[in-house]
Structure 1
Amino acid sequence: MSEIAIHQANGAAPVVSARGAKVNLAAPLARFSFRGPEAACVKAGPAFRTGLPTTPLSSSHTQTRAALWLGPDEWLLLAADGSAGQIFGVIEAALGDTPHALVDVSERNTALIVSGPRAAWLLNSQLFLDLDDTVFHVGMATRTLFAKAEIVLWRTGKDQFVIECWRSFLPYVAGLLAEVARELEVA
């Protein structure tokens, strides 16, 4: 089981299943792109009910919410509880006149959960990062490319990763993972 449980599989059969790795579609979440200076970060964290990390490649989370650092003034906010509209309103009220940008991307984004002892191997077929758990440890997140699709990769467990991507890229990313999984079966 993952150390970070905000993403849960939706209960359907895996999108991809191979010896040592599987890929599941994640359950829906409220998702926000948040940008702002330090003054906005300080106010948005408590309003979102989890602090916004300020260290590169890091994340912060509770059981139902997570904030992923994407840049010096940019975060991806994920919530498994509450409606996107309600959460948006709470953050906006807390920020008041503080300069910021908060965009609901719940309908734009979706996620895949890649898990199993060969999950890193499966991902490294199209992703050129060192995913050894001593280098890219649990809790780390980064924006990167999976082949030609922009994704956010978040390690949520020793053998579990979440790929956040645009909904329109999902068939492409899942198709590549399925193709590589066939290789894993014969390896």
Structure 2
Amino acid sequence: MLEFNLARRAPTVAPIASDAGVKITPLGPQGRLALRIRPAALAGRNDLGGFDLSGPINSRREGGDGEASRDALHLGPDEWMLIVPADEVEERCEAVSAALSGAAFSLVDVSYRDVSFSVEGPGADAMINAGCPIDLSLKTFPVGSATRTLLGKAEIVLARLAADRFTVTTWRSFAPYVQGFLVEAAKDGV
């Protein structure tokens, strides 16, 4: 019951906008599934339960129909984060498990663990780069990119949704730090 309540708890601060027009907005609850499977077991199975797993490492693929977006972030050789609407977690778990029948895999609902923020506006990449060691220029980290990295001292999953829009996802316990870091970077006009 505690996990269920934590999944619905919102981050601590309301949306923030910098003087430069970058907005930091806490996102509502989302379903997140951690999938681990050897690439050889995926041979010929790129569409699993509504998720497109065909992208290379450090990519984000959109799937789903209409407003029910199902994103697949390929974070490592055998690791994906699958993002679904919060009310579809069980349904998607069953669909992915059925599609992988006979294969060895791990699929874990980690929805309660993470919190996400939308960071968007001109200079959003520079603001995130205030604490992120990777080059976030559009040429190096294009739209559709996703990776696990650091923001300051916290681990994050970073996805680029548009030229000036990112999603920053972190563990719930790191959320106040990550949000505070982003707010300070916005205040500094980075």
What TM-score do the two structures reach when normalised by structure 2? 0.83
The 1-side partners of 2:26 and 2:41 are apart by 32
| Deviation string, structure 1 residues 6-45 (Cα, Å, up to 9, x no partner) | xxxx9xx953210221100112211100000135435875
Number of matched residues?
174
The 1-side partners of 2:53 and 2:92 are apart by 15
The 1-side partners of 2:86 and 2:113 are apart by 18
Aligned residue identity for 2:89: A
Q: CA RMSD in A?
A: 2.1
The 1-side partners of 2:44 and 2:186 are apart by 44
Map of 1:3 onto structure 2 = none
**Conserved in 1, the CA contact under 8 Å of 2:53 and 2:61?**
yes
Map of 2:97 onto structure 1 = 92
Map of 1:17 onto structure 2 = 17
Map of 2:4 onto structure 1 = none
Give the secondary-structure state (helix, strand or coil) at the position aligned to 1:120.
Answer: helix
The 2-side partners of 1:136 and 1:21 are apart by 18
| Percent of matched pairs sharing the same residue | 36
Matched, 1:26 2:31: no
The 2-side partners of 1:43 and 1:95 are apart by 11
Please report how far the alpha carbon of residue 155 of structure 1 lies from its aligned counterpart in structure 2 after TM superposition.
0.3
Map of 1:77 onto structure 2 = 82
Q: Which runs of 4+ in 1 moved over 3 A?
A: 39-45
> Structure 1: where are the runs of 5+ without partners?
1-9
Map of 1:108 onto structure 2 = 113
Matched, 1:140 2:145: yes
Please report how far the alpha carbon of residue 55 of structure 1 lies from its aligned counterpart in structure 2 after TM superposition.
1.1
**Conserved in 1, the CA contact under 8 Å of 2:120 and 2:165?**
yes
2:123 maps to which of 118, 121, 126: 118
Map of 1:183 onto structure 2 = 188
Stretch deviating more after TM superposition (62-71 or 152-161): 62-71
Map of 2:71 onto structure 1 = 66
| Deviation string, structure 1 residues 32-86 (Cα, Å, up to 9, x no partner) | 0000013543587533312213412112113511101111110000012742112
